[in-house]
Amino acid sequence: MNVLTCVKRVPMTGGTIVLTEDEQAIETRHLGFTISPHEECGVEEAVRLVEAHGGESVVLTLGPAEAEEQLRDCMAIGADRAIHLVTDGEEWDPQATAAAVVDAIRADGTAYALILFGNESADAGNYQVAIRVAHALGLPVVSGIKGIGVSDGQLRCERESGGGRDVYELPLPAVVSVLEGLNLPRYPSVPGRMRAKSKPVAASIPSRPESRLERKRLVVPAGQGKQAEILGQGADAAPRVVEILQQIGVL
């Protein structure tokens, strides 16, 4: 089975987010980049499915030229090739993103049994690209998935809900958006890293439509204005802690 996983390059933020002066982006001069934890699990799942069932695992991203780094990371843990929709670095809104992904899937021509997304991107968190892509391609879609099984062309997905898991069964091909916890992604091996260098990346430059969800500016929310009341140092603080627990009524 051929599996496509869509990923997004995002910065690895620290304890505080710093914005660029024009308030249009995060200051990333000192930050590394990665993909969302959900997507890492998606890539891992795709690689496992292809290992188990054969086929090809492909990763796709819409992002700046530098996002090739993330594609290579994905290929280092086993994706076979990559599709890079190269942007000028400006973020696309979810509708435009979905449309570009759909165009790319059609242009690629591969019959994908499964198209995986992270449930939401780590940065924008729009919760909708997977579903839009599914609708455009006329495919069934499930969200928030933490368990995937494939047998006899049939997909079985599990989603956490109220202390248990709901089960969805749907035919392939399908679109699934996944959550971290689906699996424990592997670390890339050195041979994997080296193989990734020569795996193919098909790059193309899609044209960006007008944003219908138009970002005006970013704002770092004011802190909660809290300054923790320090109860003490080391073990000596224990009695005060217990008093607080009693006050709150959990003891």
Partner 1 sequence: MTPSTRKVLVVIEHADGAPTEPSLQALTFARPLAAGEPLHALAVGLAPRGLGDHGVGTLHLAEHEAFGSYAPAAVARSVVETIQRLTPSAVIAAGSELGNEVMAHVAAMLDLPLAANCVSATGADVTRIRWGGSLLEEATVHADTVLLTVQPHTVAVETTTAEEPAGELFTPELSAADLAVRVTGRVEAATGGVSLADAKVVVSAGRGAGSAEGFGIIEELAGLLGGAVGCSRAVTMAGWRPHTDQVGQTGTKIAPEIYIASGISGATQHMAGCKGAKKILAINTDPDAPIFASADYGVIGDLREVVPAISAEIRRVKGL
Partner 2 sequence: MSEFADSARAVVIGCGIVGNSLAYHLTRQGWTDVVLIDKGPLPNPGGSTGHASNFIFPVDHSKEMTQLTLESQGQYIELGVNTECGGIEVARTEERMEELRRRMASAKSWGVDSARLVTPAEIKELVPFIDESILLGGFYSPTVSVVDSLRAGTLMREAAVESGALTVFASTEVAGIDVEHGRVTRVRTSRGDIEAETVVIACGVWGPLLAAMAGARIPLVPMVHQMIDIGPVPRFEKTSKAIEYPIVRDMDVLMYERQDGIGLEVGSYAHRSIQHDPEEIPSIEAAALSPTEFPFTQTDFDPQLADALDLMPEIVGDESVGVKYSINGLISLTPDGMPILGETPEVKGLWSAAAVWVKEGPGVGKSLAEWMVHGESHIDLHSSDISRFHPHQQTRAHVRARTFEAFPKTYGIVHPSEQWASDRNLRLSPMHERQKELGAVFYEAAGWERPQWYEANEPLVARYGVAAREAEWDARWWSPIINAEHLAMREHAGLFDLSAFAIFDVNGAGALDALQRAVLAQVDVAVGRVVYTPVLGRGGGFKSDLTIMRLGDDSFRIVTGGAHGMADKKLFADLLPADGSASLVDVTTAWTTIGVWGPRARDILAAVTSDDVSNEAFPFGTCRTIEIGSQLVLASRISYVGDLGWELYVPIEQGARLWDVLWEAGRPHSLTACGIGVYGTTGRLEKCYRAYAAELESEYTVVEAGMQRPKVKEQDFVGKESHLRHREEEPAAILCTLTIDDHSSASGLARYPLGREPITLRDGTPLTDAKGRRSYVTSAGTGPSVGKYILMAYLPPEYAVEGSQELAVEYMTERFPVTVDVVGPRPIFDPENARIRS
Beta-carbon contacts of residue 91 (< 8 Å; ≥ 6 apart): 124, 215
110 binds, among partner 2, partner 1, none (CB under 5 to 8 A by kind): none
Asked if 202 is part of the footprint of partner 1 (rule: CB under 8 A), the reply reads no
Half-sphere exposure of 217 (CA within 13 A, CB side): 8
Closest CB 161 distance from partner 1, rounded Å: 8
Which range touches partner 1 (CB under 8 A), out of 54-62, 73-81, 92-100, 195-203? 92-100
Looking only at residues 148 through 187 of this chain, which bind partner 1 when binding is defined by CB under 8 A? 158, 163-171, 179-181, 184
Question: Is the Cβ of residue 88 or residue 229 nearer to partner 1 in the bound state?
Answer: 229
192 binds, among partner 1, partner 2, none (CB under 5 to 8 A by kind): partner 2
Asked if 233 is part of the footprint of partner 1 (rule: CB under 8 A), the reply reads yes
Strand order from edge to edge, sheet including 141-145 = 141-145, 174-178, 114-118, 3-7, 57-63, 81-86, 201-204
Asked if 38 is part of the footprint of partner 1 (rule: CB under 8 A), the reply reads yes
d(CA 218, CA 26): 8
Here the tokens at position 214 are: 């138009």
Beta carbons of 38 and 119 less than 8 angstroms apart? yes
The interface mask with partner 2, positions 186-225, x = CB under 8 A, is xxxxxxxxx--x----------------------------
Looking only at residues 11 through 30 of this chain, which bind partner 2 when binding is defined by CB under 8 A? 12-16, 18, 27, 29-30
d(CA 218, CA 75): 32
Identify the CA nearest to 160 among candidates 178, 141, 185, 134.
Answer: 178
Give contact residues for partner 2 (rule: CB under 8 A).
12-16, 18, 27, 29-33, 69, 72-73, 186-194, 197
